[in-house]
Structure 1
Amino acid sequence: MPLCRGERALCIAEELGAFLPYVGGVDYAHVLLPPLEVLCSYQDVDIRNKAVDSLSKIGMQMKESDLLQRFIPLVKRLANSTIIAHRVSSCGLFHIAYPSASVNLRTDLRLLYGQLCKDDITLVRRSAALSLTKLAGTVEPCHLKTDFIRMFESLSQDGQEFVRLFSAKSCTRIKKLLEPQDFVEHILPAVLNMSQDASLRVRYAVADLLCDFCEAVVTESTRVNLVSAYVCLLRDNEAVIRKAAAEKLSRFCSTLNKELAIEHIIPCVKELSSDSAPNVRIFLASEVMEIAPVLGKDAAIEKLVPIIDSLIQDENSFVLLKVVTKHNQVNQVVGDDLLSQSLLNATCRLAKDSNWRVRLAIAEYIPHLANQSNVDELITLCRQSLTDEDSSVCNAAYQSLERLAPGKNGSAGNANVP
């Protein structure tokens, strides 16, 4: 079947990026620029992106003289064009043009990119936000602190949510480019504001990246501000944000001292243990067990064990399963005896769960409980699972029984394995 016009254009945009050997090599790379410039004007996003990718590949191989005489003028034409698609495409090419430019040309390119960051058209600003860190990786440190930071601040306060979203996602890369004190002074305030952004997508992005920011912080006062932002995310109105924040709980707490964790994080953890959204409780159960080392034995017994006991009573089997399978992290801090009976009771509940995947998971995990629970009771539990209606559960129970009591299964136990 012949390709339609759009499909042909997409293929051409992709193939031209590898076309240098067929036009005489890098000496003739410039002959590939005009057709790709035309393809940058297409409304189809995929075609434009392929054209930009191909231009980038060619630009990285061009001689410096050709970059100055051919490539940089192309980038400037696209960026100054009245055609929206041209301006959108230009944003992905600045990082190729900038390193070879003269001092004056670099100034022009920075100013031009700054204009794109404030363009009247949302698509252009989105593209500028998306490619911001590519350009930042080529800009001199002195200009990172001035021009680049102004661009970021403009994009992070943009009225369109996807522009703010892309600027939020760029923060991790920005952190690596800036000195810690510059990041804290100029970028972190924007991050804190975005943690309370009206857009769910932006808040989700911040929740996903907040640990990276906390690890970069050097002062305790700034760390407290980040903790406040994290608390807001843990208490967000949207369950998906609370889940994203809960998913980072142990890593975030590992950057804190015990006092901050107890004062600010533990109250939120207690609230989330009875959250109305099952997914939030599931992720919390997975993470909460790992924060015991941060608290230390006494605080973990006082603050954390009651929360774990509450999760063990949860009606959702997957919450219970997370607690049981992560018990080692807590036991290493508070001791084996404190939760042993609760864990055994929870294991018995899970072994009879209506979901075969839950029964399978617990049948496979039972041997790991041998140090904390009565082995005879665990063996009895395994033998009961040998009669499970699901063959995979039976097989898992048999393997666990072999680990708990090697060679002592007996013919009756073996006969029950399909």
Structure 2
Amino acid sequence: MVKTAEALGPDRYREEIIPELKTLLDDEDEVQLALAEELSKSTLQDQLGGAQHVPVILPHLEALLRVEDIKVRELAVKALLLHAPALPPEAFESTLTSLVFRLASSDYFSPKSSAIELIELVYPRASPESKAKLIEEFKKSTTHKTPMVRRSAAKSLKKLPSLVDAATLPLLLEDLKVLSSDDQDSVRLLVVEDCVSFASLLPEESKNNVIKPIVLACGNDKSWRVRYMVASLFTQLVDSLGQQITQTELVPIFVQLLRDTEAEVRTAASSKVSGVSKLLERDTVIKELLPCVRVLSADESSSVRSSLASDVMGLAPLFGKDGTNEHLLDIFLLLLRDETPEVRLNVIGKLDQVTQVLGLDQLSLHLLPAIIELAEDRQWRIRLSILEYIPLLAKQLGVQFFNEKLSNLTMSWLNDCVFSVREAATVNLQKLTESFGVEWSKEHLLPKIMEQLKHKNYLYRTTTLTMISAIATGFPPSDIQQHFLPPIFTLLGDPIANIRLNAAKALAALIARLETPCVQEVVIPFLKKRLEAEADRDVVYFSNLALQTASKRT
């Protein structure tokens, strides 16, 4: 339709195409869905010739808002939310507000559901009389005989508290109470998010008297899906309800969720431990939450352990050095050695939160052995994750500690059997050079380059070129000439053509960083001599490219 609009122009598009779309409204679900997708695009107003022409699509959207397919209705609602704000004030009440009331008056659930979801759109610009009617329509929807309508009410309620005045807010609170006791768990689970929205606007008394009982009831709900929603939103709930209610009332519910019989609920709750702990006193965390965390670290479900691993490291900054050593370190180590790769990966991804807290002695004694063990893990993705973490760890620990404890480990990855690990290892060397400086690189990396240069396995000789390309950028031209040109020249004479080819590429990349006399007197003569003896056409091609690059420096 976009191309059609471009070809016809806005006037013909409105006059010829838009009316014809009416024939698609009674077509199959797939056609209706495609039409709804087109009408919900942000480019539609330009296709129509401007926002003033939005009313021409309203009849089509109204028809789509009445169909049973929920995906079609959702897209139609999205289209109205996108395009309707462009309507002028004088047309808004007569067109859009009237449209919502027509949908709400239907005997079928689908238009009623659409009407409820559009209240957030029309309410702010409606007249006082229409606002009262909209609130009344919403109230009716909370007790409608069809669960789908009540679900739309629960879904939409969270948007309304910020739109209504103080006199109307109590009416919405009554609607919240009604929905929270609905017999359908698909309705009740949506009420949890509504509670977050209300709590952020209500005074302490209303939070205590209305929101807190609903949250507690949902936390104890017979349906695991409702409890799951409470666990998923627990951080937002405690933020909106405040520290006092959290300390006195919500901690027992959170502990209960951490011990829930359903793994899905425990998984959701496990990811909120550090977020909830920030609002609690340290003694409460130690007494109430840590026992649960210890149990969860050995949970039978790997998804629970994985979720915990992605979050629990965030407790280290809250506990400090001594508290982490005393209460958390054994949990971290257990998760680091978990049998499931994803659990280990999640811990590795958050290790920086722990290493910033622990001192060098504790890190060396407890955490470093686990890191070294994982560096040799049979899962290459684990090795890769540890590898990518090393530069940050090295920066925190300093050059002396790195040289003593991690240098050999870092160099060993250059000979890993997996290419991705070897490639990432060379990137590490670049980062380490940036952190520790050129002199460190000369002392520790150049000997490794010369060692790799002589390796009998051609893959590891190729790694030499990757190392050079990675670290040479930090060196001055004189050092590049002295330390990096000789190994590249050596590899340009390697018996393996693929290595010679990559050496030519590496040389071409370095030419820009060399001084002009070196290029003229050393590089160009060497390349010309090599080209005379080179038989492989691909190597010749890339060597010629390097020669052309060098010739531009003359």
Task: Report if TM-score (shorter chain) is over 0.5.
Answer: yes
In structure 1, C-alpha distance between the alignment counterparts of 2:39 and 2:415, rounded to whole Å:
64
Are 2:459 and 1:396 aligned? no
Q: What is the 5 A alignment of 1:18-167?
A: 18=44, 26=52, 33-57=58-82, 59-144=84-169, 146-167=170-191
Secondary structure of the residue aligned to 1:237 is coil
Range moving further from structure 2, 383-392 or 85-94: 383-392
Alpha-carbon distance change, 350 to 187 in structure 1, aligned in 2, over 3 angstroms? same
The offset of 1:21, in angstroms, is: 8.8
CA contact (8 A) 1:207 1:245 kept: yes
SS of structure 2 residue aligned to 1:348: helix
Amino acid at match of 1:156: S
- Deviation of 1:356 (Å): 0.9
- Report Cα offsets for 1:188-230 as digits up to 9, x if no partner: 3212222232333322222221111212234525433222222
| Matched residue, 2:226 | 202
Instruction: Please name the residue that 2:240 is paired with.
Output: 216
Taking every aligned residue pair, what percent have the same amino acid on both sides?
35
User: Aligned-pair distance for 1:13?
Assistant: 4.8
Out of 297, 315, 327, the residue aligned to residue 303 of structure 1 is 327
Segment of structure 1 superposing worse, 104-113 or 172-181: 172-181
Unaligned 5+ residue runs, structure 2? 1-22, 463-554
Does residue 1:387 correspond to 2:415, yes or no?
A: yes
Structure number with greater CO (CA < 8 Å, separation at least 6) is 1
> Is 1:289 the equivalent of 2:328?
no
Residues 244, 5 of structure 1: alpha-carbon distance in 2 compared, 3 angstrom cutoff: closer
How far, CA to CA, are the matches of 1:53 and 1:396 in structure 2?
44
| CA distance in 2 between partners of 1:322 and 1:262 (Å) | 23
Q: Which moves more between the two structures, 146-155 or 273-282? A: 273-282
* Displacement after TM superposition at 1:157 (Å): 2.1
Unaligned residue ranges in structure 1 (runs of 5+): none
CA spacing shift, 1:317–1:41, aligned 2, 3 Å: closer
Give the Cα separation in 2 of the matches to 1:381 and 1:29: 65
State the alpha-carbon separation in 2 of the partners of residues 39 and 286 from structure 1. Answer: 43
For residue 192 of structure 1, give the secondary structure of its aligned residue in structure 2.
helix
The match for 1:185 is 209
Q: Judge conservation of contact 1:262–1:295 (CA < 8 Å) in 2.
A: no
State whether structure 2 residue 373 is matched by structure 1 residue 344: no
Please state how far the C-alpha of 1:343 moved relative to its aligned partner.
2.1
Q: CA deviation at 1:88?
A: 1.5
Q: Relative to structure 1, is the Cα distance of residues 387 and 55 closer, same or farther in structure 2, using a 3 angstrom cutoff?
A: closer
1:289·1:327 contact (CA, 8 Å) conserved in 2?
A: yes
Secondary structure class of the residue paired with 1:134: coil
| Displacement after TM superposition at 1:46 (Å) | 3.0
Q: How many residues align?
A: 415
Task: Give the distance between the partners of 2:51 and 2:421, measured in 1 at CA.
Answer: 63
Stretch of structure 1 that moved more, 40-49 or 319-328:
319-328
Q: 2:275 aligns with which of 231, 248, 251?
A: 251
